[in-house]
Amino acid sequence: MPEKRASTISAIGGFDANNVWIGGGGGVVWKWDGMTWAQQYTGFPVFLGQIWGMDPTHVWAVGEDLNQADAGAVLRWDGTKWTEQVIGSTILLDGLWGSNTNDMWAVGYYGSLAHWDGTVWTEYSSGPRRLIAAIGGVDSQNLWAVGDGTILRGDGTTWTAEIGSKGQRLFDVSMLDTENGWAVGDGGAILRRYKGQWLAANPYAAHGKLLHGVWAIDPANAWAVGWGGIIAKWDGEIWLSQDSGTQQNLYAVWAADANNAWAVGWEGTILKWDGRQWTPQPSCTCNNLFGVWGTDAQNVWAVGNEGTILHWDGRAWSQHTQCSGALLTDVGGTSRNDIWVSGYGGTLLHWDGVIWSQIATGIGSDLWSVFPTDPDHVWTSGANGSILARTR
């Protein structure tokens, strides 16, 4: 770990304009009361990564215990003093989120996850402590997550590893139902979930190139896209290469039906499938695009770096303006008025049909994927093995 100095400011949080805390190294925080900053010494050698406040007597801070390499620490402000809370984590913590004083979550490196119930902190496992690149599924009780050499299955509460990844780095997953789906990844890897098992499926269609996106609409129609403009299509029996007409790297693919599919990638590349061939579409941006999703052939969204959000209305692509300039990684939704976007730095955005809103996640880790299962449940995943659930 690099040396951390007491002058570093790395965390900020509060609950209104007159109650804001900032902190960093050396166990020192400063509180803003609406007029001046006052120094508070916590008494603990902690480098703070996140502060979250609920009211004047319930403020938490998490970070690293500098007396132990990469060990986590949780501090609590009760209105008069800071105290250390026992969490049991040996992993550095860098994120906080809570819905009330009896429901707080702390997350950190390598997938560490802990919950405060008003009395004690309890550690939970988010699965393997590695990057989780994508989440897909059927509903909120049947979810799959893929990443660095792993495929996990979630039931809405816990995650368990499934056999079949063979150590390959996987980047995307698309499920038709609980028994049928696809995952793609490095070296042209294509894995098929069939009758409850993950099996290798004709990797030659990708010519050994990295595959970054996959989308299936029925047992006879699925697409995978990747580096160098590679596109492969499943026809129900075999994966076959398709001519994309581009050498640009492609990151994601989504289809409304067998005759309407879109693939996006580097330098604003957008391709459209009409049932016979792929053709380029003007995208009104030169930014790299990393995610694409829609509700139907007349309502499609694409996202990318520098906060890029594009919308297809059935005739042309237009650019949307929103509050975040972060690199945006993925887009998904449940209806025209319920669209979600994930991004770097814990970014999570929501479209309600009128405006984009930024949703607090309480973490600073990059989010790579977003998967709303219904209007009340949204899942997102990313670096350090993080898998987050948002319930309305």
Q: What is the CA radius of gyration of the chain?
A: 22
| Predicted confidence (pLDDT) per residue in 246-296, tens digit | 999 999 999 999 999 999 999 999 999 999 999 999 998 999 999 999 999
Q: What is the pLDDT of residue 124?
A: 64
* Residue of higher predicted confidence among 302 and 84: 302
Six token digits for residue 206? 């990708």
Cβ burial of 14 (10 Å; 0-12, 13-18, 19+) is middle
Q: Distance between CA 11 and CA 20 in Å, rounded?
A: 11
Q: Distance between CA 38 and CA 44 in Å, rounded?
A: 18
Domains of the chain: 9-125 (2.120.10.70), 132-391 (2.130.10.10)
Q: Distance between CA 192 and CA 297 in Å, rounded?
A: 26
DSSP conformational letter for 376: T
Q: Sign of dihedral through CA atoms 222, 226, 229, 232?
A: negative
Q: In whole numbers, what is the pLDDT of the chain averaged over residues?
A: 85
Report yes or no on whether pTM surpasses 0.85.
no
Report whether 87 contacts 75 (CB < 8 A). Answer: no
| Predicted confidence (pLDDT) per residue in 195-239, tens digit | 888 888 866 677 788 999 999 999 999 999 999 999 999 999 999
Q: What is the pLDDT of residue 374?
A: 86
Rounded mean pLDDT, 304-322: 94
Q: Distance between CA 364 and CA 113 in Å, rounded?
A: 14
47 pLDDT band, cuts 50/70/90, is confident
Closest CA to 284 of 329, 245, 315, 238: 315
Which of 225-234, 302-311, 383-392 is predicted with the least confidence, judged by mean pLDDT? 383-392
Q: Is a pLDDT exceeding 70 seen at residue 6? A: no
| Predicted confidence (pLDDT) per residue in 59-115, tens digit | 998 888 777 655 778 899 999 999 988 775 556 677 777 778 888 877 666 556 677
Closest CA to 167 of 200, 122, 140: 200
